[in-house]
Amino acid sequence: MTTNLPLILNIETSTKNCSVALFRGDFLLSEKSLLSDKYSHSETLTLFIEEVMSDVKLKLSDLSAIAVSKGPGSYTGLRIGVSTAKGLSYSLSIPLISVPTLKSMAYSRSQINSNFDLYCPMIDARRMEVFSAFYNVENNVIRNVQADIIDENSYLNYSQKSILFFGDGSAKCKEIIKLKNASFIDDIYGCARDMGIISFKKYLSNDFEDVAYFEPFYLKDFVAGKKKN
């Protein structure tokens, strides 16, 4: 590992998992993560950032870039993560990188289970709705992110493919989706360590966001006065 590689702080708050991971290039230096039904991201995120920097005896001023999971996911979680990332990027005068939440989830899972044709990460969007997308083993997008209401006819056009459905939205779908080549893994959440490779590649290609105008990818409009996670 060389110190010439960029030092990138990755932030993931799109679901009930609040996590931070510090990478030197594509090498993980330190990470902190907390899975909580209370969505306590506002209390833990800043502390986690301080801890991962302290773990390796580095300062925020040593960072080369900030990467943040852009969504879709929890409205509140995304707002906290993105506002923190934008604040750090602006105050440190370093680039801001956005990583699609479902893409990083699919990349991580394809590295662990590489024998499927398609990977479909699912984030719970309440009732029988999920945020989902389809990727192949090379992490290329096969179907873009959508908010899907799941029923017995969902995804029939992919029935000839072996598909791994996973994420916190997959548990409620496995009794309804009856595709013969489908497999399911529950309790998989977005995690900052899964962002590291993608954010490093984006850094190398100068694929940065405009800090002033960047907003999370909520996918669905937030309805004021209605409780949302």
CB 169 within 8 A of CB 123: yes
Same domain, 50 and 114: no
Helix (H) or strand (E) holding 61: none
pLDDT value of position 177: 95
In terms of domains, do 50 and 88 share one? Answer: yes
The series of mean pLDDT values per 10 residues for the chain, 229 residues long, is 87 95 98 83 92 98 98 94 97 98 98 97 93 98 97 95 96 92 93 98 98 93 43
Place of tokens 């290039």: 25
Structural domain contains residue 226: no
On whether both 63 and 80 belong to a single domain, the answer is: yes
Q: What is the pLDDT of residues 23-35, one digit of tens each?
A: 999 999 999 999 8
154 and 55 housed in the same domain: no
Count of structural domains within the chain: 2
Instruction: Judge if 83 and 146 occupy the same domain.
Output: no
What order of strands is seen across the sheet that includes strand 118-124? 141-149, 129-135, 118-124, 163-166, 182-185
Q: How many helices (H) and strands (E) does the chain have?
A: 4, 10
| Structural domain contains residue 121 | yes
User: Do 163 and 200 belong together in one domain?
Assistant: no
Residue 175 domain-assigned?
Answer: yes
Contact 30, 10 (CB under 8 A): no
Question: Is residue 212 domain-resident?
Answer: no
Q: Are residues 170 and 194 in the same domain?
A: no
Please give the model's pTM, rounded to 2 decimal places.
0.92
17 and 96, same domain (yes or no): yes
Same-domain check for residues 119 and 159: yes
CATH code, domain carrying 70: 3.30.420.40
- The burial class, CB within 10 Å (0-12 / 13-18 / 19+), for 128 is middle
| Residue 145, domain extent | 101-185
Look at residue 27 and tell me if it is in a domain: yes
Which residues is 65 bridged to in the sheet?
8
Q: Is residue 136 part of a domain?
A: yes
Can you list the alpha helix ranges (DSSP code H) found in 97-138?
A: 101-112
**Residue 218: predicted pLDDT:** 93
How far is 188 from 170, CA to CA, in rounded Å?
9
Q: Is residue 209 part of a domain?
A: no
Q: Verify that 92 and 167 share a domain, yes or no.
A: no
Cα–Cα distances in Å, from 29 out to 26, 94, 101, 184, 190?
A: 9, 19, 21, 31, 18
